[in-house]
Structure 1
Amino acid sequence: MLPNQKLLDEIGGKISQVISNSPARDIEKNIRAMMQSALQKLDLVTREEFDVQQEVLLRTREKLTELETRLAQLEALAHAADHPQQLEP
């Protein structure tokens, strides 16, 4: 036979009350505080900041690719101007 829900709720409530008044609750608070302090020292960035920097990096890479292509074209033109005999068949 299954115990009724009211009995289970009462037992759960009593257990929660005992834990909240016990040293276990203080230990949990201390551990949370230590973890929060440790994470703050790591100097982590938020997901939003990471996404923004990722976008900036993507645009920078695209611009670099464009500039590399343009530089190659200008070098080819300069080489052709310096060596006109290689252009004629």
Structure 2
Amino acid sequence: MFDPKSIDHIADRIANAIPPGLSNFKDDMDKNVHALLQSALSKLDLVSREEFEVQKAVLAKTRSRLEELEKRVADLEKRILQD
């Protein structure tokens, strides 16, 4: 799920972009933007940064292991062809 702090940050940035003459709409705009972002982001299939980093580490380990196994297979094939 998307980090609520990030949604708050985005909503704050949008609310702060409202011209000073419309400051009376700022609170309503902030709430509406926050709700809109929360709704839109909840429909997306997102993972947390932590989940992403875990999967990235798993992929790196798997890639390393695959490279080791490919080298071993190549060495074995080389030995078979030499015999």
**Could you say which TM-score interval applies, normalised by the shorter chain?**
0.5 to 0.7
Query: 1:77 aligned to 70, 76, 79, which one?
Result: 79
- The alignment's TM-score, normalised by the length of structure 1, stands at 0.61
- The alignment's TM-score, normalised by the length of structure 2, stands at 0.65
Q: CA deviation at 1:23?
A: 4.7
How much identity, in percent, do the aligned residues show?
51
2:70 matched to which residue of 1? 68
1:11 matched to which residue of 2? none
CA distance in 2, matches of 1:42, 1:57: 23
- Runs of 4 or more, structure 1, over 3 Å off, are none
Query: 2:27 aligned to 19, 25, 28, which one?
Result: 25
Larger RCO (alpha carbons 8 Å, 6+ apart)? 2
2:43 matched to which residue of 1? 41
CA RMSD of aligned residues (A): 1.5
CA displacement 1:17-70 (0-9 Å, x = unmatched): xx6xx5542232111100111112222111100110010011001101100100
Could you tell me which runs of 5 or more consecutive residues in structure 1 were left unpaired when the two chains were aligned.
Answer: 1-18, 82-89
Could you tell me which runs of 5 or more consecutive residues in structure 2 were left unpaired when the two chains were aligned.
Answer: 1-22
3-state secondary structure, aligned to 2:47:
coil
Q: CA deviation at 1:75?
A: 0.4
Matched, 1:58 2:60: yes
CA distance in 1, matches of 2:31, 2:37: 10
Larger radius of gyration: 1
CA distance in 2, matches of 1:73, 1:24: 68
